[in-house]
Chain A
Amino acid sequence: MASSILEVDKVTKYFRGLKAVSDYSLTLEKGVIAGLIGPNGAGKTTVFNLLTGVFTPTSGTIRLHQQDIAGQRLDQIVSLGMARTFQNLRLFTKLTVLDNVLVAAQINKDYGFWAAIAGLPSFKKGEKDLRERASALLEDMGLLHLADELSGNLPYGDQRKLEIARALATGPRVLLLDEPAAGMNPRESQELTETIRIIRDKYDLTILLIEHDMHVVMNLCDNIQVLSYGEIIAEGKPADIRSNQQVIEAYLGRAAANA
């Protein structure tokens, strides 16, 4: 299929004997918003870490734009067009909101080291372009008025949005969002749902998202995969997932145990 942008085939990851992810496969069609759900510790974040190069798969292949990326460095994979956010926020807390986005935007900077040192016109123009792009992204995420704040001082919800703005600044074709709505109230997560749709259309993105908030997932996703103990236990449209017995057990089992 020519239109599939990301193809993951039977990826497995062991941590010293612990099978965190086993035989995970995924085919993402261009423009789709796919969901990855599952109980805590199911291996969802590990999947992201495998896709983005934090971990090298024990086995299996990952192809982005038909190119094998398993084992490549994080920055190489980003420059091939796949960016992510972090579940446990990893902003550069002592840099400003704008600088956080600028760090990510530099991947497309068009001046070199010597131009920067000499302060050449190409440097000044390049910086201006970067700043404009970064400001536009902050505007998309509704953060422009906070541009000069230290990112560590933002409220939690805004930090989550900044994570998205920062990932977008790398100019991705595939965007991986790890629990973007965590810690948000229902109104905020409703807004976020809208925003994600808007940026998908505006920047022509394909999105894979991990989320515990079922409203967000059911609302947003075209396809959903359910992970439990590192294995895909169900896969399909939101409506199918909602009524899938195994999924209900995986979740209810946990809820019952917690109760």
Chain B
Amino acid sequence: MMNLQKKKLYTLLALVALFVILFICNMLLSPYHMRIINLVGINIALVVSLNLTNGFCGVFSLGHAGFMAVGAYVAAILSLPLVKKAIILPELPKWLGSVELSFLPSLIIGGLVAAICALIIGYPVLRLRGHYLAVATLGFLVVIQVVITQLQDFTRGARGINGLTQYTNTWWVWIFTCITIYVVWRIINSAYGRGMMAIREDDLAAEAMGVNLTKYRLLAFCVGAFFAGIGGALWAHLITVVTPLSFSYDRTFSLVVMSVIGGMSSITGGVVGASLMTLVPELLRNLEVGITVGGISIPPLYGISQIVLSVVLIIVIIVRPKGIVGSREFSWNLFKKKKWNTMNQMEN
């Protein structure tokens, strides 16, 4: 075991290193590459927050994309410059039409509204024994699409809201990512997280040990939705457009796939799954248009990334059904142990 002080120091150093690297990337890399790096950050936050609900607490939510949509639209409407707002959304009620919040409060309110939606869906459903949440959240995805399409005055319906200010940059994204990881880590290392894991293991026994099932499940679900809401808002202000189709089933499923591939009940698993499944498809996308490697030209392989991803998913599920990382967690002790082993080997 390493002492706590040292671990804190290492974590701090790692954070500094991360932001130095991001700073350098920001100077050197093209906007296209920076966008990928930012998407990696957002996806990490989304998957880690999804893991709190689905992995640690064991209530299977498919609603993440819906909460992203809620956060994205709320933040977009709140932060839209007044001049633009008057043109794009002239029918907004006065109290909304005359506010223009800066980005941070818009994000937070977006997250909070998403969390409130989670509370409204979750309260009736999570009181029941059994896995009704997956169905309920799937229904929520449908409902939210319909609502967004119908609420023309607020959302411009199917046309979506475009021309959002591109507030989201590397710093917003990665600070959000770090905060999400920190909060989830704090939760799982407290009585709240232990209660959630107990519920996942055996809900009757957890309840018989005094864990209030509804309260803890709702907590996990709402915290997940809060971060999904902010993630959606960041996403919208990176792409600068939101439409009802921005956050549909495929978004939820790709997040669930990332979570399953990395490891559902582990923060590290979320980070690994999200990074891998964001980066690999981007690399594969190059193959789809055809490239030349060392004089050998590879013809365009349309759809190859989908095929490779599906194969990867199948292989991971067969070989490591608990995901690449499983339920283990990164720890600085890993390095110490390795060092210790190599030292032992040197002595031999």
Which A residues lie at the B interface, using CB under 8 A? 52, 54, 73-75, 78-79, 83-84, 86, 90-95, 99, 102-104, 106-107, 109, 111, 113, 116-119, 123, 126-127, 130, 166-167, 169-170
Cα(A254)–Cα(B187), bound, Å: 52
Assess the B190–A123 pair: CB atoms within 8 A: yes
What residues of B have a CB within 8 angstroms of the CB of A83 in the complex? 208-210
Q: Could you list 20 examples of A-B contacts with CB < 8 Å?
A: A54-B204, A54-B208, A75-B210, A75-B213, A78-B208, A78-B209, A83-B209, A90-B208, A91-B202, A92-B198, A92-B201, A92-B202, A94-B197, A94-B327, A95-B198, A99-B197, A106-B210, A109-B191, A111-B191, A130-B191
- A74-B195 in contact given A93-B201, A95-B201 (Cβ < 8 Å): no
Q: What 11 new A-B contacts, CB under 8 Å, besides A95-B194, A167-B209?
A: A75-B209, A91-B202, A92-B205, A95-B198, A102-B194, A104-B210, A106-B210, A106-B211, A116-B190, A130-B191, A169-B209
CA distance A84 to B186 in the complex (A): 30
Query: Who on chain A is nearest to B212 by CB?
Result: A75
Q: Which of A117, A118, A126, A170 lies in contact with B209, CB distance below 8 A?
A: A170
Nearest CB of chain A from residue B267's CB, rounded to whole Å: 15
Q: A74-B208, A95-B198 in contact; A117/B191 too (CB < 8 A)?
A: no
Distance in angstroms between the alpha carbons of A130 and B193 in the assembled complex:
14
Q: Are B207 and A74 in contact (CB under 8 A)?
A: yes
- List B contacts of A84 (CB < 8 A): 208
Closest B residue to A166 by beta carbon equals B209
Give the number of chain B interface residues (Cβ < 8 Å): 24
In the assembled complex, how far is the CB of residue A149 from the closest CB belonging to chain B, in whole angstroms?
15
Taking A99-B194, A106-B194 as contacts, is the C-beta distance between A119 and B211 under 8 angstroms? Answer: no
Q: How far is A78 from B190 in the complex, measured between Cα atoms in Å?
A: 20
A106 near B207 with CB under 8 A, answer no
Do A106 and B191 touch (CB < 8 A)? yes
Residue from the list A73, A104, A127 in contact with B190, Cβ < 8 A = A127
B203 to chain A, nearest CB (A): 10
Which residue of B has the minimal Cβ distance to A151? B201
Q: Chain A's interface: helix, strand, loop or mixed, by majority? A: helix
The one of B205, B211, B219 that contacts A90, using a Cβ cutoff of 8 Å: B205
Which residue in A90, A94, A102, A130 is a CB contact (below 8 Å) of B204? A90
In whole Å, how far is A83's beta carbon from the nearest beta carbon of chain B?
A: 7
Interface residues of B in 207-223 (CB under 8 A from A): 207-213, 219
Q: Tell me if B89 is interfacial: C-beta within 8 Å of chain A.
A: no
Verify if B206 is at the interface (C-beta below 8 Å from A).
yes
- B192 at the A interface (CB under 8 A): yes
Cβ-neighbour of B205 out of A91, A119, A169 (below 8 A): A91
- Which residues of A have CB within 8 Å of B187? 116-117
Residues of A within 8 A of B191 (CB): 102-103, 106, 109, 111, 116, 126-127, 130
A83-B209, A116-B186, A116-B187 in contact; A74/B204 too (CB < 8 A)?
Answer: yes
Compute how far the CA of A247 lies from the CA of B191 in the bound complex, rounded to whole angstroms: 46
Query: B173-206 toward A: CB 8 Å interface, digit per residue (1/0)?
Result: 0000000000100110011101101100110111
Q: Hey, which chain B residues are within 8 Å of A54, CB to CB?
A: 204, 208
Residues of B within 8 A of A93 (CB): 201
Q: Check A78–B205 contact: CB distance below 8 A.
A: no
A170 in contact with B210 (CB, 8 Å) = yes
In the bound complex, residues from chain A placing their C-beta under 8 Å from that of B213 are 75
The answer to whether B198 touches A103 (Cβ under 8 A) is yes
Q: Smallest CB–CB gap between A75 and chain B, Å?
A: 5
By a CB distance below 8 angstroms, the chain A residues around B197 are: 92, 94-95, 99, 103
CB of B205 within 8 A of CB of A113, answer no
Whether A52 contacts B198 in the complex (CB less than 8 A), given A117-B183, A117-B187, A127-B190, comes out as no
A117 with B327, Cβ < 8 A, contacts A95-B197, A103-B198, A170-B210 known: no
Residues of B within 8 A of A126 (CB): 191
Residues of A within 8 A of B205 (CB): 86, 90-92
Q: Decide if A94 touches B201 in the complex (CB within 8 Å).
A: yes
B210 contacts A107, C-beta separation under 8 Å: yes
Q: How far is the CA of A94 from the CA of B194 in the complex (A)?
A: 11
Task: Tell me the nearest residue of chain B to A94, going by C-beta.
Answer: B201
Give the residues in chain A near B195, CB-CB below 8 Å: 103, 106
> Inside 8 A of A106's CB, which chain B residues have their CB?
191, 194-195, 210-211
The minimal Cβ–Cβ distance linking A105 to chain B, given in whole angstroms, is 8
CA distance A105 to B94 in the complex (A): 52
Cα distance A130–B192 when bound, in Å? 13
- Min C-beta distance of A239 to chain B, whole Å: 34
Which of A78, A90, A118 interacts with B210 by CB under 8 Å?
A: A78
* A128 to B: closest C-beta gap in Å: 12
Contacts of A118 in B (CB 8 A): 186
For the complex, give the distance between the alpha carbons of A113 and B226 in Å. Answer: 15
Q: Given A75-B207, A170-B210, does the pair A90, B194 have CB atoms closer than 8 Å?
A: no
How many whole Å from B139's CB to the nearest CB in chain A? 27
Task: Chain B residues near A94: list those with CB within 8 A.
Answer: 197, 201, 327
